[in-house]
Structure 1
Amino acid sequence: MRNSVQVTNMKKISLLFSLLLLPGLHAIAVKAESIATIKARGEFNICVHNNALPFSKRESASGLHIDLAQLIAAELNVSLKLSWVNLPRYAKYVKCDAYMGVPIFPDEDEGFLKKTKPYTQIEILAISNANRQLKSIDDFDGLRVATISSSLIHMALLKRDVEIFVAFRNDLEIIDALINGDVDVAIAANAYWGFYKKTNPQAVADFHSQSTEYLNSLNGYPLGIGFRKADKATVTEANAILDRLEERGDLTKLLDKYGMEPVK
């Protein structure tokens, strides 16, 4: 029973994050293609969000998900198609083959979405001035904290003497609020903090991140690639491609470009 509750809690933690990364994840399933069909078609079609750096951005056609998909398309010797989808109801119309970032939970029923091995780990962090130590929930009392609305950490802090700010569209805006002095602590995913440090190295010099495990023991999850309506052969070949990218150092180099790390 305890394991079941833990998995449920983990899914709640990642819900908002995954909705941002995977706008079509909960859309009505339509038949997608196997790796063999993708090769025959000569095109790998992925669903990507318009504005979700470090994962994707339409204006520059850049981001971790796009770059990773390009590497996979090259391994398959096919072209890459980007299907820009912000809302779940639109995903069914573009018939994309894959989402490049899906949470992976233990013992879950994948359903129509077949997932690869994880290639990175998402963790929720508490970011603050380097002189501030946040070792327990008591250390948040009296502070101004920015977080995503309705997250489990938000719910936990509602019970404390904390001034909470939730009017943010994404984690980068939350980190901005911290850097600008509007709040004392930013609750954000490591992916966004790593990217922020890469793009604003001087601004973050006086700040550091700490684990939020004491707020919720399941404060993260592995991230993999999700293939829609795929077969086992598709996932097997995709995993083999990830293995090759890892062995050559391409995956580590790509993750580092966006301030992220491979699964340890």
Structure 2
Amino acid sequence: MRSHRGKADLDAIARFLKTCEAVDLPNEYPSVSDILMQFDAPSVDQQRDIRLWENAEGQLIALAGLMIPTVGETVDGFLWFRVHPKQRVDSLYRNIIAWAESRMQEVCQERHLAVKLLAGAGAEQAKRMTLLENCGFRIERYFLTMVRSLSEPIPEPQLPDGFTLRPIQGEPDAQAWVELFNDTFIDHWNYHPDTVEAFNHKLKNPEFRPDLSVVAIAPDGTWAGFCDCYIPKDGNQSWINPVGTRRGYRQQGVARSMLQAVMQQLKVEGMETAMLYVDAENRF
């Protein structure tokens, strides 16, 4: 096990992720693009939050990282990992989890805050789920991936009177978007405040499409909702994530209108399907 060596590792990591992607679940979170973006994310400690495992020949067999929020009253570190298809043995998985536990203990000691280690498993990943449970994890939340064909008719958006939609305009929108996100998700499970730095880093993601993403603006100029979208470089599937409506503007059709507007634009871009990642317990 060793730490990340920066640009010198990127080619090997890209090849490794492509090998894993060929056999793993489609659309597994985080995506390959998300993982690669983490290597220069402002919240990531490159030397401490990413680990690589190699075999005796120096070939990469496992990669793991922690997404650790920089602000908040508690620290919930999300562990992601990929293991080479020919190296998927319990001992390696346990080694990855042990590293993550040790790293989160360091965070606890440094910040003097309560910490928690989170990890995800798809419904089809029974082995991973069993392994996580055997290591002390328990199911805390379910999330769904919803899919919508864009070949079917998409209704015209019906915004409330006086509301408008416009695309995200890059860094000038950073502060307002972050305030909107935080006010929208402050009552959501596992909420951690977003930051301007994180928003500006998102703009560097080649799959993120601010020109197709939208914000909804109320008649008085208040930002009422947002809907981000991503178009992966390969294929004809697009992602819509996140989408949210500020408290006080919910149950008025704002989110539905944003989704319809974004899906219309994705269809024009040649996408055949749109996927949405949602909390199964979202009541809004």
* TM-score between the two structures when normalised by the length of structure 1: 0.31
**Greater relative CO (CA pairs within 8 A, separation 6+):** 1
Larger radius of gyration: 2
